[in-house]
Structure formats: C-alpha cells, structure tokens
C-alpha cells in the first residue's frame, strides 16, 4: 500500500513510467552500478538486455520469465543509439531500421516518409521566455501580452508536419483544457495594449537567442515586423553558450531580450501547470534582475544548510515577485490540494489564464512526437512519454 502525504492527481499515470518499475532491492543494493549491465541485469520487463554499447547500440531479447511472455511476439530488438537523423532516415529506407524518430520538418518535405508516420499530437510546446535585464519595457505585462497577441501562430505551425498553433502553454490535447486560456492573433488588440503602455510609437526592438537556426524564427521575425513595425534580431548561439546565458540578465538595455525553448511532458493539467512553468518558475522570472541575483547568491551560499536556503529563497520569491505571479502561485497551491476533480480543473484553468496574461513565457507552437514505422511492423502504440511507445506490443505485420 502506498499512502501519499498530499493529493497527486497524476500519481497513477506517473506509476506507469519505466522509472517506477519494481525491482529486487537486495540485488540492486549489492551492486549499485553493475546491476545495469546485461550480464548482471536486474529487471522484470518484457525484454532484457543482452549487449549494450553506450551511445552506440543496445540489443534486447524477449524475457522468458516475463509474467505475460506469451503476449510478446518479437524475439529481439536491436536499437541504434546516438545516430544522427539523416543517417537514421537512410537506414530506414534501406530496411536496416524499422522504427525511427523523425522531425516534422523532415516529414514536411518527404511525401514517402509521411506515409509511414505515427504521432502523438501536442506532446510539447515551443515558447519564448522573457529574460531579465534588457530594455525596461519587457517588465510591463501589457507589452509582453501585446507581443504574444501579435504572433501569427498558424504561420509558424505550417512550417512543420504535425505542428499546431500553440495558443497557450498547455497543449489542447490535455484533458480539462479550456479555450479560456487561448491567446488569439489580434494585432489591433496588441497595438491597443502598446498604446496604453505609451509605447505604440516608441516600441524598443526585440532580440531572440536560440541554439538552433530553425525556419520559424525568421517567420516570427517577419510577423512581428509586419504587425508592429519593430526591429527583431535573431541570435543563434552554440548550445553550451545558450544554456549558460539564457538565465542570465541581458546587458543591452536597448532591446527586449527573449530566449527560445521547447518543453514536453505528460498530458495533464497538474503536469503542465504545477511542474512545467510552475509557480517557482513564474515567480523567479517576475523578479527584478537585482532580486534574481540575490536569489542566486542565496541558493549558492555554501555557508547555509538546506532548510536555511529554502527559507531565504521563499522569502525572496513570496515577497518580491509580482502580484500576478503570487496570484498564480496561490491558485496552483489551491488546485493541487483540491480533491474534487471538477473543482481542481477549474482552479488549474484559472491559474493557467493568469499565467498567459502575465506573458512572461509566450507560447508559439504545439509539437508532436513523430515516428516512421516500416510496413512490416505493427503494434506501435504511441504514448506521450519519454519512451514513446511500448516495446511489448510490437509484432511483425500480418501476425
């Protein structure tokens, strides 16, 4: 029996994740690293590893001791690890690989590959995140909302197979999703907000940093230029530099600076509001650059123990974040502690609406998980999770 200290509406779904599979504790404790090697494997799944070359290849055989072994129809799975996408596509065409992950942009230009695709819609979100520093206009929620309202998301979605117009941070496949949180493409409304903020005729430029030079960036640039007449600069950084700088204040105060990113996760309101872009995230990004620096100093102070760090960090987040961010945090806390499902969904939607209005994080598109599956394979059952589908149900076509 598992007894929770507090309600968790995603508990049963999370228990289906591979990390929650039960294994024999004494065997794992006896050799905490070696048990993962094929020769010492401890597990109880439908397949067991027989050889593993990290970052290269993994071979798994059907597990004769599996409780439902008669339902497993594939005797061996040979996985290629770490290959680049073009190499995998070539191997798929040649029959060397039978299930591969593919990008929407690849499928968009390949009619033959498109015939083989299965997908999970709305698995992830592409977004822009307002950075600390830069031009002070970025601190005005009206300005951020105006930028969000001036995004033609349909134009971005049309660039990639399966991509959808991301009208909210939460994809609309999530049960309980409501169009109350959707952001419409409304240039006139955006201009009205800028006029209210006193910036309609004096709008600063926008800078976007990302670590991939993708077509949607240029489309977004043109959309904002056409809609608002602003300067937009795209800066593509090496991945390490992007990661190191995206949570640092931007020095150039002549532009409003954003970084682009993607996030994906299980399709529940709890996950997309409590875990992803959750209340600590929202409160942090509503801090001033100086308060953010102080929070970082507290969290990195090795003279403090864990409880002291947590208490001081919470004092900063609860007292210096914006009123809207604190409202969002309060609504999320209420939602996760509400037992009635209907009431909980309503509170989550209310919180999500506040988060969209704050517009610190601007949704752009909803992105699918895509696989190309060969004609001689059946039983690929897509699931919105990191592992993608269950190996157990794979079978040769026609069986």
CA pair distance 304, 298, nearest whole angstrom: 8
Closest CA to 131 of 274, 323, 243, 286: 286
Tell me the pLDDT tens digit for each residue of 314-334.
999 999 999 999 999 999 999
Across 154-179, b (16+ Cβ under 10 Å) vs e yields: eebbebbbbbbbbbbbbbbebebbbe
Report the 10 Å Cβ neighbour count for 188. 9
pLDDT at 251 (0 to 100) = 93
Q: How far apart, in whole angstroms, are the C-alpha atoms of residue 224 and residue 203?
A: 12
Taking the CA atoms of 216, 148, 355 and 132 in sequence, report the sign of the dihedral they define: positive
User: Other CB atoms closer than 10 Å to residue 265's CB: what's the count?
Assistant: 17
pLDDT tens, N- to C-terminus, the chain (399 residues)? 788 887 788 888 778 777 777 888 898 999 988 998 999 999 888 999 999 998 899 999 999 999 999 999 999 999 998 888 899 999 999 999 999 999 888 898 888 899 999 998 999 999 999 999 999 999 999 999 999 999 999 999 999 999 999 999 999 999 999 999 999 999 999 999 999 999 999 999 999 999 999 999 999 999 999 999 999 999 999 999 999 999 999 999 999 999 999 999 889 999 999 999 999 999 999 999 999 999 999 999 999 999 999 999 999 999 999 999 999 999 999 999 898 999 999 999 999 999 999 999 999 999 999 999 999 999 998 887 777 888 899 999 875
Q: DSSP characters for 327-381?
A: HHHHHHHHHHT--SHHHHHHHHHHHHHHHHHH-SEEEEEEEEEEEEE-TTEE---
Separation of alpha carbons 348 and 351, rounded Å: 5
Reading the block at residue 323, the tokens are 């009123």
Beta bridge mates, 227: none
Nearest partner of 145 among 197, 94, 102, judged by Cα: 197
List the one residue out of 233, 191, 185, 240 whose CA is nearest residue 211. Answer: 240
Residue 266: exposed, middle, or buried by beta-carbon count in 10 A (0-12, 13-18, 19+)? buried
**Residue 153: what are its φ and ψ, rounded to 5°?**
-70, -30
The percent of the chain in helix, strand and coil, each rounded to the nearest 5, is 40, 20, 40
Interatomic CA distance for residues 60 and 51, integer angstroms:
7
């Amino acid at each position: 029996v598992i007894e929770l200290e507090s309600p968790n509406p995603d508990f049963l779904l999370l228990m289906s994740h591979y990390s929650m599979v039960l294994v024999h504790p004494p065997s794992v404790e006896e050799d905490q690293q070696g048990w993962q090697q094929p020769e010492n494997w401890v597990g109880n799944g439908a397949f067991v590893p027989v050889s593993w070359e990290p970052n290269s290849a993994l071979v798994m055989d059907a597990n004769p001791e599996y409780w439902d072994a008669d339902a497993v129809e594939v005797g061996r799975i040979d996985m290629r690890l770490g290959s680049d996408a073009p190499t995998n596509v070539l191997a798929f065409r040649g029959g060397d690989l039978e299930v591969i992950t593919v990008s929407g942009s690849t499928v968009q230009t390949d009619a033959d590959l498109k015939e083989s695709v299965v997908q999970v819609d709305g698995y992830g979100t592409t977004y822009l995140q307002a950075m600390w520093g830069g031009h002070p206009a970025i601190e005005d929620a009206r300005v951020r909302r105006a930028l969000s309202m001036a995004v033609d998301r349909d134009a971005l979605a049309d660039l990639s197979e399966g991509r959808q117009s991301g009208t909210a941070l939460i994809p609309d496949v999530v049960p309980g999703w409501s169009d109350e949180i959707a952001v419409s493409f409304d240039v006139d409304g955006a201009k009205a907000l800028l006029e209210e903020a006193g910036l309609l005729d004096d709008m600063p430029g926008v800078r976007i940093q990302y670590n991939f030079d993708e077509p949607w960036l240029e489309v977004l640039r043109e959309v904002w230029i056409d809609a608002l007449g602003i300067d937009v600069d795209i800066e593509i950084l090496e991945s390490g530099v992007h990661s190191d700088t995206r949570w640092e204040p931007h020095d150039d105060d002549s532009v409003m600076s954003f970084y682009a990113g993607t996030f994906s996760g299980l399709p529940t309101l709890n996950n997309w509001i409590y875990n992803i872009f959750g209340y600590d995230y929202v409160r942090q990004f509503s801090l001033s650059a100086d308060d953010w620096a102080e929070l970082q100093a507290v969290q990195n102070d090795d003279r403090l123990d864990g409880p002291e760090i947590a208490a001081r960090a919470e004092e900063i987040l609860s007292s210096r974040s914006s009123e809207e961010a604190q409202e969002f945090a309060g609504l999320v806390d209420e939602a996760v502690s509400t037992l009635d499902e209907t009431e909980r969904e309503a509170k989550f939607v209310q919180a999500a609406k506040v988060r969209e209005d704050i517009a610190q994080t601007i949704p752009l598109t909803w992105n699918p998980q895509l696989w190309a599956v060969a004609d001689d394979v059946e039983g690929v059952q897509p699931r919105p999770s990191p592992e993608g589908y269950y190996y157990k149900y794979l079978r040769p076509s026609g069986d």
